[in-house]
Amino acid sequence: MISEEIQKIYKNFKYFSRIIKTYTLRKYNIFEILIIWSKRQLTRFQFLVLSGVIVGALGGAAGICLKTVVHYIQVASVGNLTNGQRMTAYGILPVVGILLTTLVARYLYKCRDEIKLSNVLVDIAQHESVINKRETHSQMVQSAITVGLGGSAGLETPMAITGAAIGSNFAQRYRLGYKEKTLLLAGGAAAGIASAFNAPIAGIMFSFEVLLTGIVFSDFIPLVIASMCGSLLTTVVLNDDVLFSLGKREPFDYTNVFYYVLLGIVAGVYSRYYVIVGHKIRKLLERFQYGSVRRALLGGLIMAGVCVLFPAVYGDGYINIKMLDQGNIHYLVYREILDFFQYHHVVIFIMLFLTTMAKAVATGATLNSGGVGGNFAPSLIAGGLMGYTFGYGLTLIGFEHAPVTNLMLVGMAGVLSAVMYAPLTAIFLIAEVSSGYDLFIPLMIVSVTSFLMNKYFSPVNPDMKQLADDGKIFTSQLDRNTINRISVRECMAKHPIEVSNHATIEEVVNCFKNSDNSVLAVVGEDGHFWGMINREQLNQLVKNEEPSNDILAAEISLHPNESVNERELMHTVVRKFEESDTWYLPLVDDEHRYLGFVSRYRFLQRYRALLKELS
């Protein structure tokens, strides 16, 4: 019985495959045909689950490839060098990496605009979750060059963008709707983050906190499956040399809560410093056009100079945290410096402090000069250095039992949550990579304290504030997000009518007789909007007195207090409707030439349809 069912399914598939090869213009391989056939056989939810598996596996594989390539580039370039040789390499390789990345972006990918995580948010809000197919590989290539040759940046953001592009393009290929496209986009990003750390819960939290802000989903199971597949693939393929995992920590002791509260405040202050330094360096480098060689050289030289002075800022920096976790603190400081001074512990503390401060400078120079990467890893590493420095300082002043390793771990979560505005991602990430689930309380204390301090200064992530103000990305205001998905052009009244400002009242009456419109526009000879006449107003005029051709359209037209530009966001148009208490507003261009009427009724129709689509 089972064999008969299998044979029946196989024959069905072969018949479908033959038809699609014969009668379609587009060429499909056997794998794509199998997916299209599965889509026809499965329910919507079942196909989304299958899609989650495929997107998660592809996103995870992309992340694994990127981490592996970067690991071996770093080993080959500086792995076997002496301290003197390494100092020379640190002065050269970051410049070469940033310059090479800039040239690859300009000439290979023809890209002159900076690609950041905020671009994905814009694509979700403005472009129906459609991401350029180029991003399925361009971010991997460019970030491998930047980070592999020493740029102080993270691979996690490129992994998330690559995974999101894979999910988006998969959904486009198989003609899925906006909701499904967005879900698979988020699933691909979650798989990328999960594969970077072998942390599936952190991947899921990242998608919800960063990518799906202001979007409500009920079908989140495919996202969970995608993240799980990315993490599982990492477990199977990557070894401990490449994976970032921390095994040494101390059990949580409630008597140390004061240390964690104090660290949360320190993390909040440092995170603000980190953000401000990045902003200042961006302003400095914006004197040169993005993608220019001069900008790349200047940023590369800043990065190289910092690397020579503070070698721990070289690359993504995970090796430094691993060494601190293992107690090998001397790895971060030149032995020659320690031998030169007498008080080794004080010198180590000062070097740790300066390295922590320098990490923000190195990251700002890398990311704003043409290097490709993200703030995920740098903020994580900076937080670890800050936490360890804080704990090490406590031991120097007499608090010998301060949990230094734990302070390093929760410091990582504190800075990450404040810089990325993703406290839950930070909490679960550190809990997963350190197996420190008993550290949830200190992780919450530090992450939330640091996050709230930075949110006080900037309610929205500073990297995305301008986009949020312009309405180009979704925010936590769900209704506004939905309204802004509607364009002004979609709300224009059908078949608008207009008359000249010199038209007689008889001509106005005739226009209304030949149309069902309740309003018409009065325009000047140069096409500029003059005013509007509504049918009810005209009926009252005709009813009360005998119309005279001496009365011109310009004399009886109403002049609305508000008008609409086609580039305006819909939520501002809705506010104008409410303030003017009207059903029609004139649409004009920058020179106030008449283009049509925006209809409140058409807006409500489109709004209801959109709510139905998203429900």
- Which DSSP string corresponds to 362-417? HHHHHHHTT---BSHHHHHHHHHHHHHHHHHHHHHTT-TT--HHHHHHHHHHHHHH
Which CATH superfamily hosts domain 254-477? Clc chloride channel (1.10.3080.10)
Q: How confident is the model at residue 479 (pLDDT cuts 50, 70, 90)?
A: confident
Tell me which fold the domain 29-237 belongs to.
Clc chloride channel (1.10.3080)
Res 226 pLDDT > 80:
yes
CB-CB contact of 602 with 474 (8 Å)? no
Other residues' Cβ atoms within 10 Å of the Cβ of residue 346? 11
More confident residue, 482 or 379: 379
**Residue environment code for 396-432, b if the CB has 16+ CB neighbours within 10 A, otherwise e:** eeeeeebbbbbbbbbbbbbbbbbbbbbbbbbbbbbbb
Write out pLDDT tens, residues 179-216.
899 999 999 999 999 998 888 999 999 999 888 887 76
Q: What is the pLDDT of residue 4?
A: 67
**Looking at residue 292, what is its pLDDT?**
80
User: Comparing 390-399, 503-512, 589-598, which segment has the lowest mean pLDDT?
Assistant: 503-512
Kindly report the length of the chain: 615
The answer to whether the Cα torsion of 460, 464, 468, 469 is positive or negative is: positive
Distance CA 554, CA 537 (A): 14
Query: Which two three-digit tokens encode residue 363?
Result: 């990251």
Q: Any idea which architecture 482-614 has in CATH?
A: Roll (3.10)
**CATH fold match for the domains 254-477 and 482-614:** no
pLDDT per residue as tens digits for the range 554-568: 777 777 888 888 888
In order of 199, 279, 457, the CA distances from 283 in angstroms are 35, 6, 19
Q: What is the pTM of this model?
A: 0.85
pLDDT reading at 552 higher than 70: yes
Q: Which two tokens stand for residue 108?
A: 């290979």
**Does the pLDDT of residue 425 top 80, yes or no?**
yes
Local confidence band at 550 (pLDDT 50, 70, 90 cut-offs): low
- The closest alpha carbon to 421, from 163, 161, 194, 117, belongs to 117
Q: Where are the domains of the chain?
A: 29-237, 254-477, 482-614
Q: Which of 47-56, 367-376, 529-538 has the lowest mean pLDDT?
A: 529-538
Q: Quick one: pLDDT at residue 545?
A: 59
Band (pLDDT 50/70/90 cuts) for residue 508 is confident
Tokens matching residue 256: 């140390």
d(CA 563, CA 549): 29
